[in-house]
Structure 1
Amino acid sequence: MVSGFNINDPETWPLAATLNKELEELIAKGVKPRFSSDKEASLSEKRVKYNALFKEDAADILNHASQVSQREVFVPVRDGSLVRALVNSPKTVDLAEELPLVVLIHGGGFILGSAEMETPTCVGAVSQYGCVAVSLEYRLSPEVKFPVAYQDCWDAVQWLLSHASELSFNPSRGFVFGGTSAGSHISIPLAHKARDEGLLFPITGLYHSVPPALMPQALTNKYKPYYKSREQLKDGMTLNSKATATYDVAVQPDFASPLWNPLLWPTGHKDLPPTYFQICGADLLRDEALIYERELRLENGASTRTVVYEGLPHIFWYNYPSHSASRKFIQDAITGIGWLLGREN
Structure 2
Amino acid sequence: MDQAARVNDPERWDEFSPLDPELVEMLENGVQRRLPGIGSSASALAQTRAAWHQALRDDTDKLLAAASGDVTEAELFIPVQDGHKVRALLYRCHNSPEQENENKPLVIMIHGGGFCIGSPEMESAACIRTVQACRCVAVSLDYRLAPESKFPTAYEDCWDAIRWVKQQPFSLPDVLTGLHSNNCLQVIDNASALQVDLSQGFVLGGSSAGGHITIPLIHRARDIGLYPPITGVYLSAFPTLVPQAMTDKYQDLYKSRESLGRNANGSLSSKSIAFFDQVVSPDITSPLWNPLLWPTGHADLPPHFFQICGSDILRDEALIYERELRLDNQIQTRVIVYPGMPHIFWYSYPTHSLSSKFAENCTEGLKWLLDGRR
TM range (shorter): over 0.9
State the shift of 1:36 in Å: 3.8
Q: Indicate whether 1:149 and 2:160 are aligned.
A: no
- Aligned match of 1:60 in 54, 59, 62? 62
What do the CA deviations read for 1:69-124 (whole angstroms, capped 9, x no partner)? 01001000010001000010012263421200000000000000000111111001
State the shift of 1:198 in Å: 2.3
The one-letter code sitting in structure 2 at the alignment partner of 1:70 is E
Q: In the alignment, which residue of structure 2 is the partner of 1:46?
A: 48
Q: In the alignment, which residue of structure 1 is the partner of 2:142?
A: 137
Larger Cα Rg: Structure 1 or Structure 2? 2
Q: In the alignment, which residue of structure 1 is the partner of 2:240?
A: 213
Q: In the alignment, which residue of structure 2 is the partner of 1:32?
A: 32
Q: In the alignment, which residue of structure 1 is the partner of 2:174?
A: none
Q: What's the TM-score once normalised by structure 1's chain length?
A: 0.97
- 1:322–1:221: structure 2 CA closer, same or farther, 3 Å change rule? same
Q: In the alignment, which residue of structure 1 is the partner of 2:132?
A: 127
How much is the aligned-residue C-alpha RMSD, in angstroms? 1.6
Q: Is the 8 A contact 2:36 2:51 kept in 1?
A: no
- Looking at structure 1, the residues matched to 230 and 84 of structure 2 have their Cα atoms a distance apart, in angstroms, of 25
- Looking at structure 1, the residues matched to 321 and 367 of structure 2 have their Cα atoms a distance apart, in angstroms, of 22
State the shift of 1:3 in Å: 8.9
- Looking at structure 2, the residues matched to 152 and 80 of structure 1 have their Cα atoms a distance apart, in angstroms, of 11
Q: In the alignment, which residue of structure 1 is the partner of 2:90?
A: 87
Q: Indicate whether 1:103 and 2:105 are aligned.
A: no
Q: Which 5+ residue runs of structure 1 have no aligned equivalent? A: none
Q: State the percentage of identical aligned residues.
A: 52
State the shift of 1:15 in Å: 1.1
Q: In the alignment, which residue of structure 2 is the partner of 1:230?
A: 257
After TM superposition, the runs of 4+ consecutive aligned structure 1 residues lying more than 3 A away are: 1-5, 36-41
State the shift of 1:161 in Å: 2.9
- Aligned match of 1:327 in 352, 356, 360? 356
Q: Which 5+ residue runs of structure 2 have no aligned equivalent? A: 168-189
What do the CA deviations read for 1:5-47 (whole angstroms, capped 9, x no partner)? 7001001101100000000111111110012447488111101
Q: What's the TM-score once normalised by structure 2's chain length?
A: 0.89
- Looking at structure 1, the residues matched to 72 and 58 of structure 2 have their Cα atoms a distance apart, in angstroms, of 16
Q: In the alignment, which residue of structure 1 is the partner of 2:185?
A: none
Q: In the alignment, which residue of structure 2 is the partner of 1:246?
A: 275
Q: 2:274 is paired with a residue of what secondary structure? A: helix
- Looking at structure 2, the residues matched to 37 and 257 of structure 1 have their Cα atoms a distance apart, in angstroms, of 28
- Looking at structure 2, the residues matched to 22 and 212 of structure 1 have their Cα atoms a distance apart, in angstroms, of 26
Q: In the alignment, which residue of structure 2 is the partner of 1:117?
A: 122
